[in-house]
Amino acid sequence: MIIVGAGPAGIFSALELTAKNNLNVLVIDRGEEIDRRKCPSSRGFECHHCEPCSILSGWGGAGAFSDGKLTLSTEVGGWLNQYVTEKELGDLVKYVDDIYLKFGASEQVYGGDSDEVDEIERQAAAAGLRLIRQVVRHMGTEKCADTLRMMRKELNDKITFMPKTDVKGIIIENHTLKGVETSNGEKIPK
């Protein structure tokens, strides 16, 4: 089984696929291992327009070095509510949040019910706006990367990770998916 991309979508797919099954999972990313992702601009240089960009590519994906705000709301951030009920979506948000917690995300959440939020809601209403209340887990830049490192560690023996490999396309023969082809012409069977 091949997962292309080691961003949150790829990592969570790998965690799910390996949790209960003894599957042979290969994760491919055009970027680097998390601790080899180095951006020249973080050392004071201007953007070198690296290809692939270390900020956006590699283990952890685009937000690996962000301050990691997890919005624990069913009302913002996507359109899954078109496919599942509000209750199912709430359960899914909790399921994913619990995985982040298991891998070391901070317990601290912001924006629940409080006088401060009541006051912001009142001011918003006075301006004709509706405040959408939402709880946000704030991991912080360090914790965000650490959480991804822990997931990498957990998956180390369960998957094969192939960094620095750009996938050009999928291989289909007789209407059947056979694998992927990399930019340097290597064919990897599924």
Ligand X SMILES: Cc1cc2nc3c(=O)[nH]c(=O)nc-3n(C[C@H](O)[C@H](O)[C@H](O)COP(=O)(O)OP(=O)(O)OC[C@H]3O[C@@H](n4cnc5c(N)ncnc54)[C@H](O)[C@@H]3O)c2cc1C
Residues in touch with ligand X (CB under 6 A): 4-10, 28-31, 52, 57-58, 61-63, 66-70, 166-167
Nearer to ligand X, 123 or 156 (CB): 156
First to last CA, the chain: 5
Question: Given the complex with ligand X, which of 133 and 138 has the nearer CB atom?
Answer: 138
Which of 40/123 has CB closer to ligand X? 40
Helix 8-20, helix 141-155: angle, nearest 10: 40
| Least distance between ligand X and beta carbon 58 (Å) | 5
For residues 89 and 187, give the distance between their C-alpha atoms in angstroms, rounded to a whole number: 38
Supply the minimum distance, in Å, between the C-beta of residue 119 and ligand X. 25
Strands 2-4 vs 176-182: parallel, antiparallel or unpaired: unpaired
From the CB of 24, what's the least distance to ligand X, in Å?
A: 19
Judged by beta carbon, residue 120 or residue 182, the one nearer ligand X is 182
3-state SS class at 188: strand
**Tokens 């696929």 sit at which residue?**
17
CA–CA distance, 94 with 72 (Å, rounded to integer) = 8
Minimum CB distance to ligand X, residue 128 (Å): 28
Kindly tell me which of 61 and 111 has the beta carbon lying closer to ligand X: 61
In the sheet that holds 109-110, the strands lie side by side as 69-71, 136-138, 109-110
**Residue 174 C-beta: closest distance to ligand X, Å:** 24
